[in-house]
Amino acid sequence: MSVIAYREALNQAMSEEMERDERVFLMGEEVAEYDGAYKVSQGMLARFGPRRIIDTPISEEGFCGMGIGAAMVGLRPIVEFMTFSFSLVAIDQIVNNAANMRYMSGGQFAVPIVFRGSSGMAGCLAATHSHRLEAWYAHIPGLTVVMPATPADAKGLLKSAIRSDDPVIFIEHEVLYGDKGEVPDGEHLVPIGKAEIKRAGSDVTLITYSRSLKATMAAAETLAGEGIDAEVIDIRTIRPLDLDTLLESVGKTHRAVIVEEDWPYCGLGAGISDRIMQKAFDELDAPIRRVTTKDAPIPYNRALEASMLPSVDRVVAQVRDVMYSRL
């Protein structure tokens, strides 16, 4: 066990997998000589050389497509987006080619590729640079979507993603890169498709992922002070969803609040809420509530941006709402 930052955990995962498997390489803008726009690939060029750590031009559609092609014939590319906001330029490649290839070819072609990079509302980056695209990608059958919230999960999930034989959308968060936490040394694999209970509780289930885990955990502490015992679940994998863990928790608490950094309408929480409702409607003592980013493009002004995000107060308010029977 050592205490390292989220970005170092990602670096470890990639480096270990590259040591382990010659077919794995990293490609993207500024990943090599610049050591990564967010320094995730720091030192990797020196360690693995320019054959395997490859700086690309600003040609997302081109290099994503190249990665997919290389994966079809046996390589295992890691393609870095400086941020997932720029994956919009390459979305045809990801959605039409990466996601569909296995199916369209009747199982003849696999696309073992990882698309990874930062995302989210990082502070004053405004409308074009603050996208949260997890719901977009989670919408697509054929893709696996992963969003780690902690350094340990960053490492363990990335290693699993690189070993996956299907395309994985691995979404990091810009404001988490510097976060430190305990990470097991060496072979540490976190299975894809498994949620984690971050805080056990009996009164209400708080469902979240990525950066929003922090506000949710803080809200749980506040609620504890009010005598409300919240269970916090980090879903970690967005697709496929670990529904069993959610159902088990809701079966115990009978209430759920979903906290996400994405927009509300047709958002991830809507999909999660629907799946819980399909299976556990009779278990629920209150409607499932959601805390999301407000429904507007992301503004530059700092205070305005902050006002849109799920905050501790907004989470607490929704929990009080679903706890009406107890207050």
Partner 1 sequence: MSQATTEAKPVVSKNQAVGWLRQMLLIRRFEEQSYKLYQMGGKIGGFCHLYSGQEPVAVGSIGVLREDDYVITAYRDHGHALARGMGANEAMAELLGRYTGCSKGKGGSMHFFDAEKGFLGGHAIVGSHIPLAAGVAFASKYQNKDSVCICYFGDGAMNQGSLHEAFNMASLWKLPVIYVVENNMMSMGTQLHRHSCLMDLTVRCGTAYGIPGYSIDANDIELVATTTRECAARARAGEGPSFIEMKTYRYRGHSMSDPAKYRTKEELEDAKARDPIVAYEHILKDRGWIDDEAIERMHDEIKAEVEESIKFAEESEQTPPEALYQDVTVAHHIPQE
Ligand X SMILES: Cc1ncc(C[n+]2csc(CCOP(=O)(O)OP(=O)(O)O)c2C)c(N)n1
129 labelled catalytic: yes
Convert residues 256-295 into a mask of x (bound to partner 1 by CB under 8 A) and - (unbound).
Answer: -------xxx--------------------------x-xx
Residue number, 300 or 324, with CB nearest to partner 1:
300
Catalytic residue among 129, 139, 248, 283: 129
With CB under 6 A as the contact rule, the residue among 86, 115, 137, 170 that binds ligand X is: 86
Selection from 227, 224, 233 nearest residue 206 by Cα: 233
When asked if residue 125 is in the footprint of ligand X (CB under 6 A), the reply is: no
Selection from 210, 250, 218 nearest residue 234 by Cα: 210
With CB under 6 A as the contact rule, the residue among 44, 68, 82, 315 that binds ligand X is: 82
Catalytic residue among 29, 60, 260, 305: 60
Contact yes or no for 258/269 (Cβ under 8 A): yes
With CB under 6 A as the contact rule, the residue among 16, 17, 60, 179 that binds ligand X is: 60
188 labelled catalytic: no
Distance CA 233, CA 295 (A): 25
With CB under 8 A as the contact rule, the residue among 15, 42, 110, 129 that binds partner 1 is: 129
Site for partner 1 in 38-57 (CB under 8 A): 55, 57
Query: Is 10 strand, coil or helix?
Result: helix
Convert residues 104-123 into a mask of x (bound to partner 1 by CB under 8 A) and - (unbound).
Answer: ------------------xx
When asked if residue 231 is in the footprint of ligand X (CB under 6 A), the reply is: no
Instruction: Copy the structure tokens of residue 149.
Output: 């919230």
Of ligand X, partner 1, none, which one sits near residue 124, judging by CB under 5 to 8 A according to partner kind?
A: partner 1
Selection from 257, 250, 59, 40 nearest residue 158 by Cα: 40
Q: Report whether the peptide linkage leading into residue 57 is cis, meaning its omega lies within 30 degrees of zero.
A: no
Indicate the length of the chain as a whole number: 327
Residue number, 3 or 58, with CB nearest to partner 1:
58
Give the burial class of 89: count Cβ atoms within 10 A of its Cβ; 0-12 exposed, 13-18 middle, 19 or more buried.
middle
* Beta carbon of residue 92, minimum distance to partner 1 (angstroms, whole number): 10
Candidate ranges 68-76, 80-88, 240-248, 318-326; the one touching partner 1 (CB under 8 A): 80-88
Contact yes or no for 250/280 (Cβ under 8 A): yes
Distance CA 174, CA 185 (A): 24
Distance CA 183, CA 162 (A): 18
Partners of 281 in the beta sheet?
Answer: none
With CB under 8 A as the contact rule, the residue among 301, 313, 324, 326 that binds partner 1 is: 301
Q: What is the DSSP letter of 98?
A: I
- Amino acid in the structure at residue 160: S
With CB under 8 A as the contact rule, the residue among 25, 81, 84, 86 that binds partner 1 is: 86
When asked if residue 29 is in the footprint of ligand X (CB under 6 A), the reply is: yes
Selection from 204, 220, 222, 224 nearest residue 212 by Cα: 220
Binding footprint of ligand X on the chain (CB under 6 A): 29, 58, 60, 82, 86, 89
Binding footprint of partner 1 on the chain (CB under 8 A): 29-30, 33-34, 37, 55, 57-59, 61-62, 85-86, 88-89, 122-129, 263-265, 292, 294-297, 299-304, 307-308
Catalytic amino acids? 60, 129
